[in-house]
């Protein structure tokens, strides 16, 4: 049985309506996002390696969460929205990664292109004559 009690906290822990924030807060968030985007773009001229890819993914996640928390007001809205949104997002991300794994996205085929399908691996040499020892065994009498 659920008992509903009024929320007396005004710290954003459950309030549906909240006072608008100062524009300065959003200028700061916008500036932070712009700086992060500039850093992302600069990686295009970096050497191509695993560190660059990891840095890009981390920066992407920070930008994603910042926009969701501040611009989409998740930080100030009812906590249930924040929990449902991020829990669903993490679950969906895991499912997509599993699906990509099942489709050999993360397999390194050994070619120049990282995620080539397995069939692009060098094929084994075609079957030739059986080795001499086998030839001896099957030698017609």
Partner 1 sequence: MTETLTAPAVAHDDHGHDDHGHLPTNTGVTNEKLGMWVFLGSECLMFGGLISTYMLYKNRPGNVVGVRGRDLAGSSLRPSELYDIPFTSASSFILLASSLTMVFAVNAAKRNQMQRMRSYLGATAALGALFIGGQVYEFTTFVREGLGFTTNVASSAFYVLTGFHGVHVSIGILMLVTTIALSLRGRIPHARAEAVEIVGLYWHFVDVVWIVIFTIIYLIK
Give me the residues that bind partner 1 (CB under 8 A), please: 1-10, 13-17, 19-21, 23, 26-27, 30, 33-34, 37, 40-41, 43-44, 48, 53, 56-57, 59-60, 63-64, 67-68, 70-73, 77-78, 80-81, 84-85, 88-89, 92-93, 96, 99-100, 103, 105, 113-117, 119-120
Nearer to partner 1, 98 or 134 (CB): 98
Nearer to partner 1, 34 or 134 (CB): 34
CB 129 within 8 A of CB 135: yes
> CB 12 → partner 1: shortest distance, Å?
10
CB 119 within 8 A of CB 127: no
> CB 33 → partner 1: shortest distance, Å?
6
Could you give the CA distance from residue 15 to residue 125 in angstroms, rounded to a whole number? Answer: 70
CB 85 within 8 A of CB 93: no
Nearer to partner 1, 71 or 134 (CB): 71
> CB 15 → partner 1: shortest distance, Å?
5
Burial class (CB in 10 A: 0-12, 13-18, 19+), 15: middle
DSSP helix/strand/coil, 104: coil
CB 109 within 8 A of CB 121: yes
Neighbouring residues of 129: CB distance < 8 A, sequence distance ≥ 6 = 135
> CB 141 → partner 1: shortest distance, Å?
43
> CB 93 → partner 1: shortest distance, Å?
8
């Amino acid at each position: 049985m659920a008992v509903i009690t009024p929320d007396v906290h005004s710290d954003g822990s459950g309030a549906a309506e909240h006072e608008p924030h100062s524009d300065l807060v959003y200028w700061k968030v916008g500036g932070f996002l712009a700086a992060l985007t500039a850093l992302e773009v600069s990686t295009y001229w970096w050497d191509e390696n695993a560190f660059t890819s990891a840095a890009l993914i981390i920066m992407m996640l920070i930008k994603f969460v910042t926009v969701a928390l501040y611009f989409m007001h998740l930080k100030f809205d009812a906590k249930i929205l924040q929990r449902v949104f991020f829990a669903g997002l993490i679950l969906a991300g895991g499912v997509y990664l599993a699906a990509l794994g099942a489709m050999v996205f993360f397999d390194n085929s050994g070619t120049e292109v990282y995620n080539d399908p397995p069939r692009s691996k060098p094929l084994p040499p075609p079957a030739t004559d059986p080795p001499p020892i086998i030839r001896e065994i099957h030698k017609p009498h």
